[in-house]
Amino acid sequence: MKVHMLPRASLRRVFSSSPRCSSYLPLSFQHSIIRSSSSISQRLGSKHVSFPGAVKSEFTNDLKYVLPANLPALPTYRAVGQDGNIVDQSFEPDLSEEEIVKVYKTMLTISIMDPIMYDAQRQGRISFYMVSAGEEAISIGSASALDNEDVVFCQYREQGIFAYRGFTLKHFMNQLFANKSDIGKGRNMPVHYGSKEFNIHTISSTLATQIPQASGAAYALKMQRINDPSLPPRVVAVYFGEGAASEGDFHAALNIAATRSCPVIFICRNNGYSISTPILDQYRGDGIASRGIGYGIDTVRVDGNDFWAMREATKKAREMALEDGGKPVLIEAMSYRVSHHSTSDDSYAYRARVEVEDWKRRDNPITRLRKYMEAKGIWDEAKEKDAKETIKRDVLKAFSEAEREKKPAIRNMFEDVYEEMTPDLKAQMEQLKQHLEKYPNEYELGEFEEGINSLNS
């Protein structure tokens, strides 16, 4: 998109023999510090092209376009089938029975909290909600293969990662009700969770912006370990939907992660819909996975309804991401969004109810893991009933506690814009205070921690 008018002129200057250049090192040395793509020499009759842009490309006398439609679709990896039986004979479950039960209960917790909060929004008790039904295995399966020190960037449908890492129902509810205990200080919409303790960056609504940030964060982890080899090796995992992958930031992120060799795992949740847009209006290639290859990124497609496949793929991705000084890996997790996009969406306006019901019945990450556990004899109907009841009770308890809490102090509106409050912001906070003193009955001041007093400078 840009005209390199001035740059080109200055390139001439560098390569000229102007006396001013005497301070520069010889060209040969400059090349050693600049990552050059290849040698430019080209032998006559060579089978391979030495064009710098594609060094391994062989000449052909056959004019043939590559037709994507003729290529087979990339396969989808499964470890455990729909019936709960192992289908990958080389796969060996590596979690203890207690750990599997813990994972399953985490999935159940999310699947129970989701409809409760969905209804809470319908009753006007919270302003917004997004469920992750059908995608619990993607977040929890991958999170279970990461180190808790690994840094995570989310889109918004990954509450499972938070839950897996230790985010409690209290944490969730405080954020959803934006009360005074909310980590985000009541500034963000519901479901925009974040945690320093669990190494998860706070969610922002802007789609795909987190993807290049994840590449940068991964480069930071890599550099920090170079500076201090005693640090443990860490990777970044970043989640996004197949719709977000259409944003320019996706392209930027994969390309920059590949060129800078960043230890980052890109995890795409391909659930078939971006709000109302089906994939045929989203892309015409072979999903998102086929693009990773184009960026020179090691890629796999996984059955996102298979907890074990997600875990295995992420475990391997983590190892690969830390190899050779760091490199990016892409996982495309296939699933189906069985829920509405959000509480502001009625998905039956653009897809048949029967399609959704069919998916719910046919395949579900939670039932699949349950079948696996039942086959192993570590789970049964009684345990299921008991777990569901306990979780529901806990959710409702956290719900009512969080709902009763006061809202954060109004002062939080002005803080953290900058590290220090600017004179402008201090003056504006004072203006608001005077205004509220003049019209106290026009606002619900009592709901907020400290009321008007939090605005004292």
Residues 220-239 that bind another protein (CB under 8 A): 220-221, 223-224, 226-227, 236
Q: What does the alpha-carbon distance between residue 287 and residue 166 come to, in Å, rounded to a whole number?
A: 32
Kindly state the tokens that stand for 172. 């969730």
| Residue 305 C-beta: closest distance to another protein, Å | 30
Is residue 187 a contact partner of residue 177, using CB atoms and an 8 Å limit? no
Residue 55 in the binding site for another protein (CB under 8 A): no
Choose the binding region for another protein from 112-120, 135-143, 190-198, 340-348 (rule: CB under 8 A): 190-198
Q: Which is nearer to another protein, 226 or 352 (CB)?
A: 226
Residue 406 in the binding site for another protein (CB under 8 A): no
- Residues written for the chain: 457
Q: Which is nearer to another protein, 219 or 308 (CB)?
A: 219
Q: What does the alpha-carbon distance between residue 115 and residue 130 come to, in Å, rounded to a whole number?
A: 9
Between the two ends of the chain, the Cα-to-Cα distance in Å is 48
Q: What does the alpha-carbon distance between residue 241 and residue 274 come to, in Å, rounded to a whole number?
A: 8
Within 415-454, which residues bind another protein (CB under 8 A)? 416-419, 422-424
| Residue 337 C-beta: closest distance to another protein, Å | 25
| Residue 142 C-beta: closest distance to another protein, Å | 19
Q: Which is nearer to another protein, 98 or 228 (CB)?
A: 228
SS3 content of the chain, % helix, strand, coil (to 5): 45, 10, 45
| Residue 124 C-beta: closest distance to another protein, Å | 24
| Residue 140 C-beta: closest distance to another protein, Å | 22
Choose the binding region for another protein from 1-9, 60-68, 117-125, 330-338 (rule: CB under 8 A): 1-9
Within 255-284, which residues bind another protein (CB under 8 A)? 255-256, 259-260
Residue 170 in the binding site for another protein (CB under 8 A): no
User: Which residue type is seen at 246?
Assistant: S
Within 142-161, which residues bind another protein (CB under 8 A)? 151, 153
Choose the binding region for another protein from 15-23, 71-79, 108-116, 342-350 (rule: CB under 8 A): 15-23
Strand locations in 100-198 (E):
151-153
Residue 250 Cα distances to 257, 267, 283, 386, angstroms: 11, 11, 14, 43
Residue 204 in the binding site for another protein (CB under 8 A): yes
From candidates 114, 249, 303, 306, binder to another protein by CB under 8 A: 249
Contacts of 133 (CB under 8 A, 6+ apart): 111, 114, 337, 338, 339
Nearest to 207 by CA among 278, 255, 269: 269
From candidates 28, 34, 39, 67, binder to another protein by CB under 8 A: 34
Is residue 165 a contact partner of residue 394, using CB atoms and an 8 Å limit? no
